[in-house]
């Protein structure tokens, strides 16, 4: 156990986490150049393309240190987005130390801070790493100053590196060995293993990723999930080299996997404790929390024939994404579909993209919504995350919506515009802190619905990319809510309905009508788009018909060419939803959430 | 003179005792021959042509040889169309050679429509008279405009006066079925100016009038000029105005506006050959770049005269590419072609041929289109109104 180090890399997005992980993997020789590919730990295409880590991942790096001894360095990768902060906390709980990566040009950012706080909560050894020192805009002195003043860490403990160029990697590995403490625990104690992730393998079922704190687990053992008491027989244990590698046992201090015939990842809860049925540990490891989705939207197949395909795909998808939930739903305009819950908008985006890419589905997502709380006149309290289920306004005694606390870091020069933006988004109780010369830490309490409504994009835009943002949900607060419907050619499209604050309704309605006008292509007849509350029309726009598109000539040689053109257009149209006789593109449903006053 | 004295085309004696059977189309196929030579390239034209007229004799021989490949699969035709390019660059005897070979290799219906495209700049009265004797019974004259400035802008090598003379000669030579091609929507041409050309054309009472809106492929020189000089093309509304004004003018003059760009004085004077394209009837195209369609496959010849000559010389078909069309592709073609024509499509026939019941499948959309007066339903046919014809491409995407 003395030769094990469990660590994680934490960083603000784009500060180079995946690249550093790649270098550590290369340096320790787990993989040869031939099967190396960038962002080794990011398995999904989507992760590589977007440069973010969606799921946690782990790898064991064998390393012979300068002291001549062999070590196993377990690197536990963490997701890098606010939507997944609970997953991050469970990964950190599995470590004894972290590499806190800071971009030499950008310096300390909001997630650097948020991640540092998380690491401190878990009493982890923190090694500050200044990355990207090769950049011409690198300002190491300023970063050192920030490490001292903003993070409160000893700047002398830092290590400089350029993950891109591969410099400073050995210093980092040595620091991991020397400064991160070896795990504690006793292999003879009752088993206590923390689940920090799980993924689905179509041959073996669920692969549980865990960190063993106490005791030992081996194949043949009967394990018990402490959250719900279910038991399974262990088929295989092992650790993660480049691929899963079977071992005889996992003991206190180890990071590895367990295969135990668990059918879906939904049966496994991240943060739960595994123990042995025979000889259970007295209490679960601390920090377990059930993850609840905060953003909801319905998914419909574009062609109603594809409903069964969609259902099957969601089933399969769910196997590998425990935080995604769904249930049957139906829409007057869009037919049969599913109501789904997501951890945030990025999660929603990812789910949509994966369904389309991995399952080849053409889907429409309804306008995302948060979960509202209504107290009815008869005293009943209901939660509504689907505008279709909006209660009869006459029955509502009180409406409430979820609030978040937003933490932002930005250069002082953007303070005015950001505060204006926050106020526009109904932000209250602001708090401001100068964390260094010219840098401000700003916090606001805001309705979650406003954050979903294009806050992040506009925040990034007004701070020209220099601002960073993080949020926590805090509570429900009373709010004057109304249901706003959208009518396309006089027909209500329920998937475009939104629950909005009354003071915002008209502006939102106008915005939605304008955006739809941009998104819905001109068709052969005029299309009216209206926003309505109850029977009252509050906003309107019109899409004019196009009047001439036919080509002048079409003889023998033109027919194939023309057909190919039309086939292309037809394929594009297939990705649109026919509502009445109007084709509405997929993009329209999410566009109503975006505003154009960037 | 070989044909001296006889007023009647001498090909009427050729037999046509065969049975042509294609399961989906009962009409006989049309024969197209592409003559890919032009003395100069018009700025707007993207049809294949070259100026190397010294190759014409070899070309004539090659086309004659190409026919042999198809005598089994396309035994009979009832329309022949000599297009280009500029077929009127061929001498009378060269045209005779081609037509003779056509009759030798295929069965040609005695009532066939035999059309030739002519350039008003090339042709003398005597040439027209000879053409008639060869059995050509329909002329399509590429007038384009009766406005010299417009002709010059388009890069035509004839004048308005020559255009007038060409029509007079054709009449004098005894042609009873004359088609005139015109172009509108040219830079500097407003509706009024276009109406003058149109009226002038009507004064000759042509049997057939093709009025094309100028459209430019990217590779044409006129397209480049429009770009360089930032010349405007008509806006969508202006284009529609041209289209509707033209249609109204011709309809008032008792023409039938039967296809987007085509009008005829009576049903029997519609271009029977071109109707085959729009009605999805098979056609055989010979000559460089010519396209063919047999009801299920479409293929096209290499668009390079020298390669064409060489391939035929080697005893091979000069086909560059072919495609086998799926039922869906055929259905889409039938719809976009049908929506170009006043008669539209026969729904029952469409269902039988392509297995798609439009009225059932697209009821709501069709109702909306009827409500918006873009299509009509009559006698089992779905047809575009004038406004519908203007958006025929979109009608095909319902």
Q: Could you give the residue ranges of the DSSP H alpha helices within chain B? A: 56-70, 92-105, 125-133, 148-154, 160-172, 191-202, 221-228, 236-252, 272-278, 305-313, 327-338, 347-354, 358-361, 363-371, 386-390, 392-395
Is residue A520 within 8 Å of A588, Cβ to Cβ? yes
Q: Quick one: pLDDT at residue B23?
A: 36
The separation between CA B24 and the C-alpha centre of its own chain, rounded to angstroms, equals 23
- Is there a contact between A556 and B283 if contact means CB atoms under 8 Å apart? yes
Does residue A434 surpass a pLDDT of 50? yes
Number of domains in chain B: 2
Indicate if B225 and B364 belong to the same structural domain: no
The residue whose two tokens read 């209660």 is A391
pLDDT score of A54 more than 90? no
pLDDT category at A49 given cuts 50, 70, 90 is low
Q: Do residues B149 and B50 both lie within one domain?
A: yes
From B32, which residue of chain A is nearest by alpha-carbon distance?
A: A556
Closest residue in A to B284 (Cα–Cα): A556
Following DSSP, what letter does each residue of B290-333 receive, concatenated? -EEE-SSEEEEE-S-HHHHHHHHHTT---EEEEEEPPHHHHHHH
H or E stretch including A506? helix A502-519
Q: By the CB < 8 Å criterion, does A472 face chain B?
A: no
Whether residue B396 and residue A557 make contact (CB cut-off 8 A), yes or no, is no
The rounded mean pLDDT for chain A is 87
* Same-domain pairing of B140 and B74: yes
Domain final residue, candidates B263, B278, B293: B278
User: According to the model, what pLDDT value does residue A343 have?
Assistant: 85
pLDDT at B2 over 50: no
- Residue the block writes with tokens 């829409």: A331
Say how many C-beta atoms besides its own lie within 10 A of residue A307's C-beta: 15
Query: Would you call B285 and A557 a contact, using CB atoms and an 8 Å cutoff?
Result: yes
pLDDT of the residue at A172: 96
Q: Does a structural domain hold residue B49?
A: yes
pLDDT attached to residue B17: 36
If asked whether residues B259 and B383 sit together in one domain, one would say no
Domain CATH code at residue B378: 1.10.10
- Helix/strand number for chain A, H first, E second: 14, 33
**Residues in a beta bridge with B299:** B292, B322
B90 domain-assigned: yes
Nearest to A559 among B236, B277, B387 (CB): B277
Q: What is the largest CA-CA distance in chain B?
A: 65
Asked if residue B351 and residue B215 are part of one domain, the reply reads no
Task: Inform me whether the pLDDT recorded for B179 exceeds 90.
Answer: yes
Highest mean pLDDT among A51-65, B10-24, B136-150: B136-150
Query: d(Cα A233, Cα A219) in Å, to the nearest integer?
Result: 8
pLDDT per residue as tens digits for the range A441-497: 899 999 999 888 778 878 878 887 677 787 888 999 999 999 999 999 888 998 899
Query: Rounded mean pLDDT of chain B?
Result: 91
Of B92, B211, B213, B116, which Cα lies nearest the Cα of B166? B116
Residues B274 and B333 in one domain: no
Specify whether B126 is located in the same domain as B254. yes
How big is the CA angle at A479 (ends A477 and A483), to the nearest 5 degrees?
Answer: 130
Q: Does A544 touch chain B (CB under 8 A)?
A: no
By C-alpha distance, the chain B residue nearest A571 is B397
Token duo for residue A95: 């470590």
Tell me: do B334 and B263 sit in the same domain. Answer: no
* Dihedral in degrees, nearest 10, Cα atoms A451, A457, A460, A463: -80
- pLDDT per residue as tens digits for the range B147-168: 999 999 999 989 999 999 999 9
Predicted confidence (pLDDT) at residue B310 exceeds the cutoff of 60: yes
Chain B positions touching A569 (Cβ under 8 A) are 397
Question: CA B136, CA A211: separation in Å to the nearest integer?
Answer: 91
Measured between alpha carbons, how far is A422 from A428 in angstroms, rounded to an integer? 8
Percent of chain B, pLDDT > 90? 86
Cis before residue B85, ω within 30 degrees of 0? yes
What would the DSSP string read from start to end of B178-212? EEEEEEE--TT--HHHHHHHHHHHHTT--SEEEEE
pLDDT band of residue A402 (cuts 50, 70, 90) is very high
| pLDDT of A36 higher than 70 | no
Which carries the bigger pLDDT value, residue A579 or residue B120? B120
Same domain, B345 and B268: no
CB–CB of B144/B184 below 8 Å?
Answer: no
Q: Please state the φ and ψ torsions of residue B159, each to the nearest 5 degrees.
A: -110, 170
CA distances from A505 to A365, A392, A480, A533 (A): 21, 18, 10, 8
Contact A547 B395 (CB under 8 A): no
Judge if B229 and B349 occupy the same domain.
no
Same domain as B377, residue B269: no
CA distances A211 to A40, A123, A192, A199, B125, Å, are 21, 16, 9, 15, 99
The C-alpha atoms of residue B234 and residue B239 are separated, in whole angstroms, by 6
Cα distance between residue A250 and residue A91, in whole Å:
18
Task: Name the least confident of A114-128, B16-30, B337-351.
Answer: B16-30
User: Does residue B299 register a pLDDT over 80?
Assistant: yes
Q: What proportion of chain A, given as a percentage, has pLDDT over 90?
A: 50
The mean pLDDT of B169-175, rounded to a whole number, is 96
Instruction: For residue A294, give the nearest of A415, A402, A159, A438 by alpha carbon.
Output: A402
pLDDT category at B22 given cuts 50, 70, 90 is very low
Is A567–B292 a contact, with Cβ atoms under 8 angstroms apart?
A: no
pLDDT band at A223, cuts 50/70/90? very high
- Let me know if residue B223 belongs to a domain: yes
Q: What is the mean pLDDT of residues A185-191?
A: 94
Mean pLDDT over A291-297 rounds to: 86
Closest alpha carbon within chain B to A523: B394
Among the residue ranges A158-162, A465-469, B6-10, the one predicted with the least confidence is: B6-10
Partners of A483 in the β-ladder = A499
Does a structural domain hold residue B151? yes
Choosing among B211, B216, B277, B393, which should be mutated to test the A contact, i.e. which has the most A CBs within 10 A?
A: B393
What H or E segment, with its residue span, contains residue A106?
none
Residues of A in contact with B260 (CB under 8 A): 550-552, 554
Closest chain A residue to B294 measured between Cα atoms? A556
Query: Which percentage of chain A shows pLDDT scores above 70?
Result: 94
Q: Give pTM, 2 decimals.
A: 0.68
Chain A nearest CA to B215, separation (Å): 7
| pLDDT for residue A420 is more than 90 | yes
Categorize the per-residue pLDDT at A202 as very low, low, confident or very high, splitting at 50, 70 and 90.
confident
Which has more confidence, B383 or B122? B383
* pLDDT exceeds 60 at position B313: yes
Q: Are residues B87 and B231 in the same domain?
A: yes
Determine the 3-state secondary structure of A471 from DSSP.
Answer: strand
Shortest CA gap A525–chain B (Å): 7
Say yes or no to pLDDT of A225 above 80.
yes
Q: Do B391 and A548 touch (CB under 8 A)?
A: yes
- What band does A574 get if pLDDT is binned at 50, 70 and 90? confident
Domain boundary among B278, B300, B315: B278
DSSP secondary structure, B229-268, as one string: TTPPPPPHHHHHHHHHHHHHHHHHTT-EEEETTEEESSGG
Tokens of A584: 């509405």
| Chain A nearest-CA residue for B292 | A556
Whether B214 is covered by a domain: the verdict is yes
Q: Output A590 or A536, whichever has higher pLDDT.
A: A536
Q: Is residue A345 pLDDT above 90, yes or no?
A: no
Question: For residue A567, is pLDDT > 60?
Answer: yes
User: Which chain B residues touch A580 with a CB distance below 8 Å?
Assistant: 364, 368
**CA distances, A390 to each of A299, A329, A385, A526, B142 (Å):** 18, 14, 9, 31, 67
Structural domain contains residue B297? no
| A498, two tokens | 């939104």
Mean pLDDT throughout B175-192? Answer: 96
CATH number of residue B153's parent domain = 3.20.20.70
Residues B254-273 have pLDDT tens digits of 999 999 999 999 999 999 99
pLDDT mean over B277-296? 95
**B161 contacts: CB under 8 Å, gap ≥ 6:** none
What's residue A367's pLDDT?
87
CA dihedral over A514, A515, A516, A521, signed as positive or negative: positive
Q: What mean pLDDT comes out for the span A495-507?
A: 92
Residues 6+ apart with CB under 8 A from A220: A233, A234
Mean pLDDT of A489-514: 91
What is the extent of the structural domain holding B55?
Answer: 30-278
Least confident of A42-46, A399-403, B275-279, B325-329: A42-46
Rounded to whole angstroms, the Cα distance separating A366 from A335 reads 12
Q: Is residue B10 part of a domain?
A: no
Give the pLDDT band of residue A133 (cuts 50, 70, 90): very high
pLDDT above 50 for B14: no
In a domain, B147, yes or no: yes
User: Which A residues 489-528 touch B at CB under 8 Å?
Assistant: 523-525
Q: Is the pLDDT of residue A72 over 90?
A: yes
ipTM of the complex: 0.89
Q: Find the helix or strand (DSSP H, E) in which A345 lies.
A: helix A345-359
- pLDDT surpasses 80 at A55: no
pLDDT at residue number A303: 83
What does each C-alpha distance from A587 to A365, A520, A577, A583, B268 come to in angstroms? 9, 9, 11, 12, 50
Chain B interface mutation, best of A491, A555, A574, A580, highest count of B Cβ atoms under 10 Å: A555
Nearest to B390 among A547, A554, A563 (CB): A547
Nearest to A425 by CA among A378, A380, A457: A457
- Testing the interface with B: which of A525, A550, A581 to mutate, by most B Cβ within 10 A? A550
* pLDDT at residue B346 is higher than 60: yes
Question: Which of the given ranges, A329-343, A440-454, B305-319, has the highest pLDDT on average?
Answer: B305-319
Interchain proximity A524–B260, CB inside 8 Å: no
Residue entry with tokens 């959208």: A486
A564 touches chain B (CB under 8 A): no
Predicted pLDDT at A598 = 40
pLDDT of residue A349: 83
Q: Any alpha helices (H) in A205-341, and if so which ranges?
A: 307-320
Local confidence band at A40 (pLDDT 50, 70, 90 cut-offs): low
Q: Which of B248, B263, B278 is the last residue of a domain?
A: B278
Burial of B308 (0-12, 13-18, 19+ CB in 10 A): buried
CA–CA separation, B331 and B337 (whole Å): 10
């Amino acid at each position: 156990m003395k030769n094990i180090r469990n660590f994680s890399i934490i960083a603000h997005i784009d500060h180079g986490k995946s690249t550093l992980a790649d270098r550590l993997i290369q340096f320790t020789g787990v993989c040869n150049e031939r099967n190396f590919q960038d962002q080794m730990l990011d398995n999904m295409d989507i992760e590589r393309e977007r440069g973010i880590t969606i799921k946690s991942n782990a790898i064991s790096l064998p390393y012979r240190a300068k002291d001549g001894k062999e070590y196993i360095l377990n690197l536990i990768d963490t997701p890098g987005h606010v939507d997944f902060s609970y997953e991050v906390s469970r990964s950190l709980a599995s470590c004894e130390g972290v590499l806190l990566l800071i971009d030499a040009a950008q310096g300390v950012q909001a997630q650097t801070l948020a991640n540092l706080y998380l690491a401190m909560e878990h009493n982890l050894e923190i090694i500050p790493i200044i990355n990207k020192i090769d950049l011409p805009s690198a300002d190491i002195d300023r970063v050192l100053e920030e490490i001292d003043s903003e993070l409160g860490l000893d700047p002398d403990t830092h290590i400089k590196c350029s993950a891109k160029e591969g410099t400073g990697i050995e210093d980092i590995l040595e620091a991991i060995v020397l400064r991160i403490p070896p795990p504690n625990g006793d292999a003879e104690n009752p088993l206590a293993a923390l689940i920090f992730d799980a993924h689905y393998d179509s041959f073996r079922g669920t692969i549980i990723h865990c960190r063993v704190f106490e005791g030992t687990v081996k194949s043949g053992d009967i394990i018990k999930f402490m959250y719900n008491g279910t038991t399974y027989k262990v088929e295989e244990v092992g650790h993660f080299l480049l691929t899963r590698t079977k071992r005889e046992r996992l003991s206190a201090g180890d990071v590895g996997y367990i295969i135990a015939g668990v059918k879906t990842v939904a049966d496994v809860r991240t943060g739960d404790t595994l123990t042995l049925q025979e000889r259970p540990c007295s209490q679960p490891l601390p920090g377990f929390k059930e993850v609840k989705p905060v953003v909801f939207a319905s998914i419909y197949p574009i062609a109603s024939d594809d409903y069964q395909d969609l259902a099957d795909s969601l089933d399969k998808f769910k196997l590998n994404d425990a935080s995604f939930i769904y249930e049957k739903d139906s829409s007057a305009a869009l037919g049969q579909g599913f109501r789904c819950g997501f951890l945030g908008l990025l999660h929603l985006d990812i789910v949509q993209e994966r369904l389309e890419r991995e399952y080849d589905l053409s889907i429409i997502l309804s306008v995302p919504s948060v979960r509202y709380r209504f107290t009815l006149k008869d005293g009943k309290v209901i939660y509504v995350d689907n505008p279709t289920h909006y209660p009869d306004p006459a029955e509502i005694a009180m409406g409430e919506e979820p609030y978040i606390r937003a933490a932002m870091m930005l250069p002082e020069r953007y303070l005015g515009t950001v505060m204006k933006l926050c106020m526009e988004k109904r932000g209250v109780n602001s708090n401001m802190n100068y964390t260094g010369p010219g840098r401000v830490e700003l916090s606001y309490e805001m309705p979650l619905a406003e954050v979903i409504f294009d806050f992040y994009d506009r925040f990034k835009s007004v701070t020209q990319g220099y601002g960073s943002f993080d949020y926590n949900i805090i509570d429900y607060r009373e709010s004057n809510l109304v249901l706003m419907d959208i009518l396309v050619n006089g027909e209500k499209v329920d998937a475009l309905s939104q629950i909005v604050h009354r003071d915002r309704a008209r502006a939102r309605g106008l915005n939605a009508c304008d955006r739809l006008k941009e998104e819905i292509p001109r068709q052969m007849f005029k299309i009216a788009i209206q926003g309505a509350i109850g029977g009252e029309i509050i906003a309107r726009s019109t899409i004019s018909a196009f009047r001439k598109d036919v080509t002048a000539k079409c003889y023998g040689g033109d027919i194939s060419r023309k057909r190919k053109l039309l086939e292309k257009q037809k394929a594009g149209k297939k990705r649109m939803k026919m509502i009445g006789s109007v084709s509405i593109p997929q993009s329209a449903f999410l566009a109503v959430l975006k505003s154009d006053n960037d | 003179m070989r044909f001296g004295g006889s007023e009647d085309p001498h090909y009427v004696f050729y037999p046509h005792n065969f049975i042509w059977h294609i399961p989906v189309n009962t009409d006989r196929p049309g024969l197209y021959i592409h003559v890919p030579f032009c003395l100069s390239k018009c700025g707007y034209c993207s049809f294949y042509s070259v100026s190397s007229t010294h190759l014409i004799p070899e070309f004539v021989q090659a086309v004659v040889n190409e026919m042999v490949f198809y005598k089994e699969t396309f035994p009979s035709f009832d329309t022949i169309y000599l297009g280009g390019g500029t077929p009127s660059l061929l001498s009378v005897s060269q045209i005779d050679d081609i037509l003779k070979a056509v009759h030798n290799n295929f069965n040609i219906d005695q009532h066939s429509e035999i059309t030739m495209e002519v350039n008003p700049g090339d042709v003398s009265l005597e040439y027209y008279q000879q053409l008639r004797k060869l059995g050509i019974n329909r002329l399509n004259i590429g007038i384009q405009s009766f406005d010299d400035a417009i002709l010059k802008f388009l890069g035509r090598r004839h004048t308005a006066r020559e255009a007038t003379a060409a029509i007079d000669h054709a009449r004098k030579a005894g042609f009873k079925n004359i088609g005139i091609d015109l172009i509108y929507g040219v830079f500097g041409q407003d509706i009024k100016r276009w109406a003058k050309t149109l009226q002038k054309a009507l004064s000759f009472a042509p049997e057939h009038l093709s009025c094309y809106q100028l459209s430019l492929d990217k590779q044409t020189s006129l397209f480049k000029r429009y770009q360089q000089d930032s010349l405007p093309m008509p806006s969508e509304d202006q284009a529609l105005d041209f289209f509707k004004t033209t249609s109204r003018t011709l309809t008032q003059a008792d023409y039938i506006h039967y296809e987007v760009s085509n009008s005829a004085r009576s049903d029997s004077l519609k271009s029977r050959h071109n109707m085959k394209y729009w009605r999805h009837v098979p056609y055989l195209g010979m000559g460089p770049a010519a396209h063919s369609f047999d009801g299920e496959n479409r293929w096209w010849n290499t668009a390079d005269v020298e390669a064409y000559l060489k391939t035929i010389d080697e005893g091979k078909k000069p086909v560059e590419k072919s495609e086998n069309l799926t039922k869906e592709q055929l259905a889409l073609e039938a719809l976009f072609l049908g929506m170009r024509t006043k008669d539209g499509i026969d729904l029952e026939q469409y269902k039988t041929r392509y297995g798609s019941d439009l009225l059932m499948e697209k009821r709501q959309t069709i109702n909306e289109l009827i409500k918006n007066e873009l299509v009509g339903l009559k006698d089992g046919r779905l047809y575009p109104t004038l406004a519908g014809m203007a958006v025929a491409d979109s009608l095909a995407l319902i």
